[in-house]
Amino acid sequence: MKNILLIFVFSLIVSQYVQGQTSILQKQGTATQLLVDATPFLILGGELGNSSASAVEDIEVIFPKLERMKLNTVLVPAYWELIEPQEGKFDFTLTDKVIQQARMNNLKVVFLWFGARKNSMSCYTPLWFKQDYHKYPRAYTQNGKALEIASAFSDNVFNADHRAFSQWLKHIATIDKRNGTVIMIQIENEIGMLEDARDYSNIANGLFESAVPVELIEYLQNNKKRLHPAMKAKWEALNCPNQGTWREVFGEDIYTDELFMAWHYAKYIQRMAQAARKIYNVPLYVNAAMNSRNRKPGEYPSAGPLAYLIDIWQCAAPDINFLAPDLYDNGFVDWTAQYKLDNNPLFIPECKATDNNGVRAFYVFGEHDALGISPFAIEDCSDSPESSFVRGYEKLKEIMPLIVKYQGKGVMNGLLFDQENKERIIYQDDIKITARHNFTLPWDSRVKDGSQWPEGGGILIRLASNEYLLSGNGVVVEFEKGNGQTTTPLMLGEDGFLQEGNQQLTKKDQIDWRCQSRIGLGIVDEVEINADGSYSFKRRLNGDQTHQGRHVRISVGDYKTLHIKLYEYK
């Protein structure tokens, strides 16, 4: 009877925490959506600089600015060293201030747990933890160098990290259960091993020479057809062994070291995630520093939640909802494609803060059904209403009802162009859509004067047969029948006519167009999107604004939403 009573009391305690959950992930078609208060929610976010939430006064200044910048979510570090400055004594002043200011400024919060690891290092651990390196041991390089990286193999390290994390989450659950201001939690930050691909401590070496866990072998066998290509190739290189040490199963190279380390980092994170699920069950994720610039494991944070390690991470840490990339390198389109997988939704918790982020946000929502995007050190950016970034977020807030309606249904495309990547061709049924950077049109003086082209892009949504919505900045789109009937493109002046002496006037069109249907622009309206997803008419665009019916366009430096109806003629 006593045990039953204890279980009942414990259940009540747990329920008082988890009942406050207001954010969940759910599928819509091929997309994963974040629901906040039962409504699909896109994170128009920004991440604070590492030290920007370490003082109450700074938080009070920054958060009103973020609302002016049209953010709906802020990503905020939670610092273990300030939460538990003395062992066993906790201070939640900064957490309380973040949640209070978020509510006052209409923001949701994603907290980032800067615990045992931040960008690989253990720099945010409390001083009492750092000093007692016998109790809280470090990782070691192959040549015996101790690193400022807490061991992933130490129970003492885990227990201290776990205790602080759990106490902090319980406090959040207590103060946030009615409001649901905190909608996601990131556990640690850019976890990974530096200088070498794995830890070479005695305990790590012993485990590396031991058998690969049966749990991982069974996962590989059960998911062989859907493994990431890199993981599948690594395992198949030795004919898919079903037992053996890490070297015997995966080969002897630095990438096997990385697989081993990823397994143990993910197992560490899984134990943290299990605690979170019992306390405040919001979506959980981990973020990765990219394996870019031809660096090898250890030159970048080895064994972090990289896309090609997703099988290791999903097997070892099933309570983590997704892996997220921190994007600072060139090749934004390629990086985002790596993380939008059938088993992983795209969320970008960090990217370089530039005016282009507004355009990039349109792209990831349209192309990859993204959960959200969050430029780093957002507080340093301009809050001017004329800023391209602010205007982009403002327009995205407006069209959010349509984006979430069509996510996962295969009718949206994201467009992103720059000076090198100027054009994209999309085929939908019998329609060929050619989208380009707006500077590919000849009449803007910046096209040829040496100016660097700002990125242009947007979202194209097919609403119905011959009906589209285009929203964004700096794009031009042409529609034609995709029947293979093409001619040499005519280079036209701003007035729509060929220039005097242009030799194209003498070329004969050899195509027989008889009985061939063509596509024309029936109606092009600039519209605003209402909260229920309906349209409010602003103005009709025609004549010069559609180049006499040849295309639809949104100029560089502008953000608009166009409702387009096509028609066919012969």
Residue 443 lies in a domain: yes
pLDDT of the residue at 513 = 57
Query: Pairing relation of β-strands 412-417 and 108-118?
Result: unpaired
Structural domain ending residue among the three candidates 407, 433, 448: 407
Whether 402 and 449 share a structural domain: no
Residue 247 lies in a domain: no
pLDDT of the residue at 8 = 44
What token pair was written down for 269?
């994170």
Whether 432 and 388 share a structural domain: no
Whether 370 and 429 share a structural domain: no
Are the C-beta atoms of residues 494 and 548 closer than 8 Å to each other? no
Are the C-beta atoms of residues 308 and 230 closer than 8 Å to each other? yes
CATH number of the domain bearing residue 137: 3.20.20.80
Residue 497 lies in a domain: no
Residue 530 lies in a domain: yes
Q: Indicate the SS3 state at residue 435.
A: strand
Whether 306 and 439 share a structural domain: no
CATH number of the domain bearing residue 454: 2.60.220.20
Whether 402 and 417 share a structural domain: no
521: which residues sit within 8 A by CB, 6+ positions away? Answer: 479, 546, 549, 550, 551, 552, 564, 565, 566, 567
pLDDT of the residue at 407 = 98
390-405 burial, b if ≥16 CB within 10 A, otherwise e?
bbbbbbbebbbbbbbe
Structural domain ending residue among the three candidates 382, 407, 432: 407
Q: Which helix (H) or strand (E) holds 438?
A: none
Residue 253 CB burial class (10 angstroms; 0-12, 13-18, ≥19): middle
Q: Which helix (H) or strand (E) holds 420?
A: none
Tally the domains of the chain. 2
Q: Model confidence over 345-392: pLDDT tens digits?
A: 999 999 999 988 999 999 999 999 999 999 999 999 999 999 999 999
Whether 179 and 298 share a structural domain: yes
Nearest to 42, CA basis, from 378, 359, 346, 439: 346
Whether 437 and 534 share a structural domain: yes
Residue 466 lies in a domain: yes
pLDDT of the residue at 534 = 96
Rounded to an integer, what distance in angstroms lies between the CA atom of residue 325 and that of residue 334?
Answer: 12
Whether 427 and 474 share a structural domain: yes
Residue 332 lies in a domain: yes
pLDDT of the residue at 2 = 47
Give pLDDT tens digits along the chain (570 positions).
444 444 444 444 444 444 456 899 999 999 999 999 999 999 999 999 999 999 999 999 999 999 999 999 999 999 999 999 999 999 999 999 999 999 999 999 999 999 999 999 999 999 999 999 999 999 999 999 999 999 999 999 999 999 999 999 999 999 998 899 999 999 999 999 999 999 999 999 999 999 999 999 999 999 999 999 999 999 999 999 999 999 999 999 999 999 999 999 999 999 999 999 999 999 999 999 999 999 999 999 999 999 999 999 999 999 999 999 999 999 999 999 999 999 999 999 999 999 889 999 999 999 999 999 999 999 999 999 999 999 999 999 999 999 999 999 999 999 999 999 999 999 998 899 999 999 999 877 777 777 789 999 999 999 999 999 999 999 999 999 875 545 555 556 666 666 655 555 545 555 555 667 889 999 999 999 999 999 999 999 999 999 999 999 999 999 999 999 999 998
Whether 31 and 124 share a structural domain: yes
Residue 9 lies in a domain: no
Rounded to an integer, what distance in angstroms lies between the CA atom of residue 106 and that of residue 40?
Answer: 17
Amino acid at 503: Q
Whether 31 and 125 share a structural domain: yes
What token pair was written down for 240?
């898919």
Whether 417 and 526 share a structural domain: yes
Q: Which domain holds residue 421?
A: 413-485+512-569
Whether 387 and 359 share a structural domain: yes
Beta bridge mates, 372: 43, 347
Residue 392 lies in a domain: yes
Structural domain ending residue among the three candidates 360, 389, 407: 407
